[in-house]
């Protein structure tokens, strides 16, 4: 049976005491942790940049980035759909629900791509 690692290697399992295999597992865990940290930092950076989008950004695009942001930070929708008389919140809920099943890392990546696209469009137009 394996031994769970702690600290920056949390989630990694050592399945043998052989030094060579441990180092390969350790290096793999380091690589995964570094890549995930880079994605999280990039996501936070683009979340800040999203606040600088121009007022001319369409509601459709705002809803897309809202849905991706919620999926990236919370995961699948965890509330009931707002009633018909609350159209604004209902549209936001629908945008979030459209991303259901997407991993949080994939949602972060899609969010970054969408923010880059919107910022490029704003700069060129």
For the stretch 15-36, pLDDT in tens is: 444 455 454 555 555 555 545 5
User: Residues 75-105: pLDDT tens digits?
Assistant: 999 999 999 999 999 999 999 999 999 999 9
What CATH number does the domain containing 53 carry? Answer: 1.20.80.10
Range(s) of the domain holding residue 93: 3-124
CA dist., res. 112 & res. 18, Å (int):
41
Q: What is the pTM (predicted TM-score) of this model?
A: 0.71
3-state secondary structure 25-38: HHHHHHHHHHHHHH
Q: What is the DSSP letter of 14?
A: E
Residues in the chain, overall count = 125
Structure tokens that stand for 91 in this block: 């549209």
Q: For the chain, what is the domain count? A: 1
């Amino acid at each position: 049976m394996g031994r769970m690692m702690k600290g920056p290697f949390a989630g990694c399992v050592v399945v043998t005491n052989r030094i060579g295999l441990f180092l390969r597992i350790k290096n793999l865990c380091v690589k995964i942790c570094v890549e995930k940290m880079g994605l999280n930092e990039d996501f936070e950076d683009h979340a800040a940049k999203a606040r600088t989008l121009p007022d001319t950004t369409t509601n459709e695009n705002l809803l897309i980035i809202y849905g991706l942001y919620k999926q990236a930070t919370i995961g699948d929708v965890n509330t009931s759909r707002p009633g018909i008389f609350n159209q604004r919140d209902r549209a936001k809920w629908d945008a979030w629900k459209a991303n259901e099943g997407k991993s949080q890392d994939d949602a972060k990546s899609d969010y970054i791509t969408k923010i880059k696209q919107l910022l490029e469009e704003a700069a060129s137009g």
